[in-house]
Structure 1
Amino acid sequence: MEEYLQVVPSELEIIKQDVEKKNSELEKKIELLEEEKMHLRLDVDVQKLEAEKLKKGKNKVEEDLDSLKTDYKKLRVSMRTAGLGKTSEQWRREI
């Protein structure tokens, strides 16, 4: 007779198994989310570095442009002082 008896888990044991299964699934999801969070932080760090690099490059270009403008103004003044800034029409009148 004992051969035909089955062990039937109690309702509490079934609920406990379900909870443990859900807990395991949630732990896996948490691990995946934490890994994704880490990757997103790395992406943000990379983007911040790229933005900083672009900003420095922009500042350098602006400084170079300002320097070129200053040099151009100095050159124009030097040319006027030396008489080299005249147009061909002005040279003809002078000759």
Structure 2
Amino acid sequence: MKRFVANPVTTLEYDWLWGKRVNDNVPVSSQENTRPIEKHLQVVPSELEIIKQDFEKKSSKLEKNVG
């Protein structure tokens, strides 16, 4: 990686931060706090499943009222 140095005197913090950057200054992620992708994903019910659940709830209420 080539660096353009405008000022030859840089701080240690700047050098440390520069070392943490890759791919057009996108910070490298730490592996310490990462979770598996499955933890980030949610199961989203389909429209048909939502309608089915709603129908079952209404049917259950009607059965209680009739019975």
Question: Greater share of strand residues, 1 or 2?
Answer: 2
Is the TM-score greater than 0.5?
no
Larger relative contact order, structure 1 or 2 (CA cutoff 8 Å, min sep 6): 2
State the TM-score bracket (shorter-chain normalisation): 0.3 to 0.5
TM-score, normalised with respect to structure 1: 0.32
Question: Greater share of helix residues, 1 or 2?
Answer: 1
- Rg: which structure is higher? 1
